[in-house]
Structures are given as structure tokens and as C-alpha cells.
Amino acid sequence: MVWPEAAIPEFANEIAPYLADIQVSSRARGADVLMGVIRVGDNGEDYYNSILALTAGVAFYDKRHLVPFAEYFPVPAMVRSWLRLMSLPYSDFKAGVAGQPPLLAGGMRVAPSICYEDAFGSAQRALVARSELLVNVTNDAWFGRSPARFQHLQISRMRALEVGRYLLRAGNDGVSAIIGPHGELAAVAPGYRAAVLRGTVVPRSGLSPYTRTGNWPVILLALAAAAWSARQRRNPGS
């Protein structure tokens, strides 16, 4: 079962009994749960936008690619001091560490992503290579009823297509969907109301050409085209 990004508006650390009840209930039904949560780090100071896996144990994936001016402020210290003086305190999320392992859920190795992390396929290649299923949780409510919700869905479809994996997508007022390994929409939840989307996915392994090479072929072709164009300008008759 997959719940959206920040599905519960409380720090996960502060609702441990509630999460334990969900874990016991889901395990009794032979199910695992992946849900988007906000959590406080072990040091009590760092905040993470995370996916919590409630399985036989507990595991987290922490978002690595944070959104500037939404999840962190890329501003100098003096601006932060001014914000505090103006009674506008702001705490950044902390980016997750590199090399996080896949989450284990439903008997599969899952490559998770949160919100617009799915726009950066090259950053996910190492994780995807060790996984059999993709999961994206997102909160697209701030898009309202604009086409941006569907643009984000198309981005998710591209991620599934380029690596040949099923992708489960759960969104708060986004487009929740089950996406097939060819980028096709296997099932789509109705929008703007509570719904449960059910479907079947198949774990898939192996490396697609993109998973093996990433963006390098495109980069090299672009460089070759730029070099050829520069040569033609210097020697128009050649």
C-alpha cells in the first residue's frame, strides 16, 4: 500500500503509537505500507521529507533532491538573520545521504522518489539498478487544477519507460496511477476526491540502455554536433 507525500501532517516521531497500529494492522492482512512522512533526525535538529516503510521492520528513504525556496532557502546567513528579526523563522529540510538502499516492501526491492525527484532520471540510476519496482509519492495540491498535475504525471511515465519498471504513483490531489514498464497508464485514480486505486504489478530486473549509460550518449552526441557545427563555420566550403 502506498500513501502520498506527507500523508500525515505530524512529525513521524510524535505519532509512533499510531504508526505502530498501522504496521500491526497491515501486517495482519499480509500487506506492507509505504507512506510519505516528515520526520526529525536522531539529533533532534534536522528535518527530513521521507518515505516510511512499515514492513516486518521500519525503514526510511530521505529525499535527496530538495526544492529550493520550498524545502530549503539557498540564501546567505545574513538573510536568515533578517528573517528571524522579522519574526519569519524558517527551517530547511536536510537532504538525504547518497547511496541509500532500496526499500523492501511487498517482497520487492523498491526504488523510491519524492515529488519532483522523478524529474532527474540520471540521479536515480544507481538505485533503480538494484530495484524491481519504482514508487513515487508526491503532493501536487499546490498546482490546483492546472495542467501541471498532468505534466508531472508525464515525467513519471518517462521514468518508468526509460528503465523498464512498473511505477506506483500516489499523490495528494495529484494524479495517482499505476504506470507500466512501457510508460503506459495501467490504472488511474479519480481526481479531487478520496479513492483507493488497486492493481497488479510485476517485479522486473535487468538494465535498460539508459540505466546502463545514463545521459552520456546524448551528451557525447551533443558535443560531437557542436564540434561539427563549429568546424563548418570555420570552413564553410568543406
Q: Among the options 71, 115, 132, 162, which is catalytic?
A: 115
Nearest to 110 by CA among 131, 137, 82, 138: 131
Strand order of the β-sheet with 167-172 is: 103-105, 108-114, 133-139, 167-172, 177-179, 185-188
Gap between the Cα atoms of 160 and 155, Å rounded:
9
Residue 94 is among the residues annotated as catalytic for this protein = no
Beta strand spans in 123-165 (E): 133-139
Residue 115 is among the residues annotated as catalytic for this protein = yes
Nearest to 52 by CA among 129, 133, 131, 112: 112
Q: Among the options 10, 14, 45, 63, which is catalytic?
A: 63
Q: Among the options 5, 71, 117, 132, which is catalytic?
A: 5
Residue 63 is among the residues annotated as catalytic for this protein = yes
Gap between the Cα atoms of 154 and 58, Å rounded:
31
Beta strand spans in 21-57 (E): 33-40, 47-54
Report, as residue numbers or ranges, the catalytic residues: 5, 63, 115
